[in-house]
């Protein structure tokens, strides 16, 4: 009885290990083949008070359908962002949103087909009393 139980447990562990291996290989292959649609395009540690910053998108494959802002470390009040495309056009998004540390903006769909992004300029203010600076991350969806 004891040997039978050990054999069943060993079988379950083997199945779990194989399943984990396939899932890891699937995730790796998905990231390498472009199946993961979101990519971090850049980030900035922001200053205190009212300010503006830029994130240059330097990727050769800078073709995206949507953006998202994610905030880490400290709260921030994001006023707006302006996306500068490779063809010289711009798109402004009024956010007027208070982000807590660890929060994200709504998905910001880009007009037209997939677009090449040169840079994103964002206006914000902070009122951090804890002395920690916020980190703003720019994510793009392929």
Cα(77)–Cα(23) distance, integer angstroms: 39
pLDDT tens figures, 84-112? 988 899 999 998 889 998 999 999 999 87
Positive or negative, the CA dihedral 101, 24, 41, 142 is negative
Contacts of 13 (CB under 8 A, 6+ apart): none
Quick one: pLDDT at residue 5?
A: 54
Quick one: pLDDT at residue 130?
A: 63
Contacts of 10 (CB under 8 A, 6+ apart): none
Burial of 50 (0-12, 13-18, 19+ CB in 10 A): exposed
Residue 28 has pLDDT above 50, yes or no: no
Quick one: pLDDT at residue 62?
A: 61
Residue 35 has pLDDT above 80, yes or no: no
Quick one: pLDDT at residue 111?
A: 83
If pLDDT is split at 50, 70 and 90, which confidence band does 31 have?
very low
pLDDT tens figures, 50-79? 889 999 987 656 688 999 999 998 899 999
Among candidate residues 105, 55, 40, the one with its CA nearest the CA of residue 76? 105
Quick one: pLDDT at residue 50?
A: 84
Cα(23)–Cα(84) distance, integer angstroms: 38
pLDDT tens figures, 107-132? 999 987 777 899 999 999 887 666 67
If pLDDT is split at 50, 70 and 90, which confidence band does 29 have?
very low
């Amino acid at each position: 009885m004891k040997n039978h139980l050990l054999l069943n447990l060993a079988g379950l562990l083997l199945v779990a290990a194989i399943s984990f291996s396939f899932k890891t290989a699937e995730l790796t292959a998905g990231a390498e083949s472009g199946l993961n649609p979101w990519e971090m395009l850049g980030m900035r540690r922001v200053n205190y008070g009212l300010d503006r910053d830029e994130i240059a998108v330097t990727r050769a494959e800078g073709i995206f359908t949507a953006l998202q802002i994610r905030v880490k470390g400290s709260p921030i009040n994001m006023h707006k962002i302006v996306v500068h495309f490779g063809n010289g056009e711009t798109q402004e998004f009024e956010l007027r949103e208070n982000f807590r540390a660890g929060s994200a903006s709504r998905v910001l769909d880009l007009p037209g087909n997939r677009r090449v992004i040169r840079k994103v300029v964002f206006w914000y203010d902070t009122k951090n009393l804890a002395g920690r600076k916020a980190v703003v991350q720019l994510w793009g969806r392929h």
